[in-house]
């Protein structure tokens, strides 16, 4: 919120990222869509208490691609996203049928360690959520928890990932500072660096730019394109233009059902389903 109130800050947030534009453009969207499947949901039905939120969702998420998850508000996008890294497991009244497979193996298989699963499937939230520790400690917090880095290697790891998100220049002199003094966009980039530092295979983004201004949004979008094909990205967005800009493939959810799943351009320009056409047309107005 404060980001939008102060016009000086977003520019500062996006500044260091600007230099990456050319690089980002090289990896054009809609290019690499064919790849093996990373995540599969099989007849996934789930709800809280007596309510059913998702019904019989079957989707494939291609490895190394950016997949957008679109749909009206309350359609279950966040719920589906949070199922992938088992964040819903502890919500009271949660019940589920069906399965989610990561590399062909159920994420609820007894052999799957949930903390390791969450390391492999990272998440960026709708609003930035830094931890109450210094900027540098924030970046390496997850990596330290997973013993991917010792105390000695902290600075190097922090530099590597802050550079990757284009934040290094802005924070290199204030690594010991509070992350809460950064602008909203910078905080979100910091959280992205933190998620990348545990070397995830899949990254879940839940409306990562909804609290950011256009410049910071652009920075994040460009970054997302640089993550593929090393990382499989799923991004929830209400902004269809954003889906068109960043996503190779798109999934359309409506009222907890998967309506359509296909290549982004195809889905927007020649939707197979009436519902999709309706939503896409309505949203572009």
Binding stretches for another protein (CB under 8 A): 1-3, 85, 87, 92, 114-119, 122-123, 125, 127-134, 141-142, 145-146, 176, 178-181, 184, 187, 191, 194-195, 198, 211
Choice between 108 and 125, CB closer to ligand ATP: 125
Which residues are registered as beta bridge partners of 251?
A: 69, 261
Considering only residues 40 through 99, tell me which ones interact with ligand ATP, judged by CB under 6 A: 48, 51, 53, 71, 73-79, 91
Q: Are 258 and 251 in contact (CB under 8 A)?
A: yes
Q: Are 193 and 161 in contact (CB under 8 A)?
A: yes
Residue nearest Mg ion, Cβ-based: 78
- Kindly write out the interface string for residues 76-115 of this chain, putting x where it contacts Mg ion by CB under 5 A and - elsewhere: --x-------------------------------------
Choice between 33 and 78, CB closer to Mg ion: 78
CB 73 → Mg ion: shortest distance, Å? 7
Choice between 143 and 247, CB closer to another protein: 143
Is the alpha carbon torsion for 17, 81, 149, 154 positive or negative? positive
Choice between 106 and 255, CB closer to ligand ATP: 255
C-alpha 146: how far from chain center: 20
Sheet of strand 51-62: strand arrangement: 51-62, 37-48, 94-102, 105-106
Q: Are 14 and 218 in contact (CB under 8 A)?
A: yes
When CB distances are held under 5 to 8 angstroms depending on the partner's kind, the choice from Mg ion, ligand ATP, another protein, none that residue 37 binds is none
When CB distances are held under 5 to 8 angstroms depending on the partner's kind, the choice from another protein, ligand ATP, Mg ion, none that residue 154 binds is none
When CB distances are held under 5 to 8 angstroms depending on the partner's kind, the choice from ligand ATP, another protein, Mg ion, none that residue 53 binds is ligand ATP
Choice between 54 and 216, CB closer to ligand ATP: 54
CB 74 → ligand ATP: shortest distance, Å? 4
Considering only residues 195 through 214, tell me which ones interact with ligand ATP, judged by CB under 6 A: none
Choice between 71 and 142, CB closer to ligand ATP: 71
Give the C-alpha separation, 187 to 205, whole Å. 15
Q: How far is CA 15 from CA 1, 3, 4, 21, 210, in A?
A: 19, 14, 16, 11, 19
Give the C-alpha separation, 138 to 161, whole Å. 11
CA-closest candidate to residue 256, choices 93, 74, 85, 96: 74
Q: Are 204 and 1 in contact (CB under 8 A)?
A: no
41 binds Mg ion (CB under 5 A): no
Choice between 89 and 156, CB closer to ligand ATP: 89
CA-closest candidate to residue 181, choices 7, 17, 9: 9
Q: Which residues contribute to the site for ligand ATP (CB under 6 A)?
A: 48, 51, 53, 71, 73-79, 91
């Amino acid at each position: 919120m404060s980001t939008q109130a102060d016009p000086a800050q977003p520019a500062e947030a996006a500044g260091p990222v600007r230099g990456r534009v050319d690089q980002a453009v090289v990896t054009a969207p809609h290019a690499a869509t064919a790849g093996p499947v990373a995540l599969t949901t099989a007849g996934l039905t789930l709800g809280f208490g007596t309510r059913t939120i998702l019904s019989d969702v079957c989707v494939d998420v291609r490895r190394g691609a950016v997949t957008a998850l679109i749909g009206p508000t309350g359609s279950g996008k966040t719920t589906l996203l949070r199922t992938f890294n088992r964040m819903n497991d502890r919500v009271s009244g949660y019940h589920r049928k069906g399965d989610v497979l990561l590399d062909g193996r159920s994420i609820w298989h007894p052999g799957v360690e949930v903390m390791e699963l969450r390391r492999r499937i990272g998440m960026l939230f709708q609003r930035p959520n830094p931890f109450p520790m210094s900027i540098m400690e924030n970046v390496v917090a997850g990596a330290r928890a997973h013993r991917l880095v010792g105390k000695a290697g902290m600075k190097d790891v922090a530099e590597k990932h802050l550079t990757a998100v284009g934040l290094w220049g802005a924070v290199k002199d204030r690594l010991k500072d509070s992350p809460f003094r950064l602008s909203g966009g910078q905080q979100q980039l910091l959280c992205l660096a933190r998620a990348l530092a545990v070397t995830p295979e899949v990254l879940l983004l839940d409306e990562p730019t909804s609290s950011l201004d256009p410049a910071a949004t652009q920075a994040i979008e460009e970054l997302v394109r640089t993550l593929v094909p090393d990382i499989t990205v799923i991004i929830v967005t209400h902004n269809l233009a954003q889906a068109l800009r960043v996503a190779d493939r798109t999934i359309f959810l409506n009222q907890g059902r998967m309506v359509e799943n296909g290549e982004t351009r195809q889905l927007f320009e020649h939707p197979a389903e009436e519902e999709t056409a309706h939503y896409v047309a309505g949203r572009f107005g």
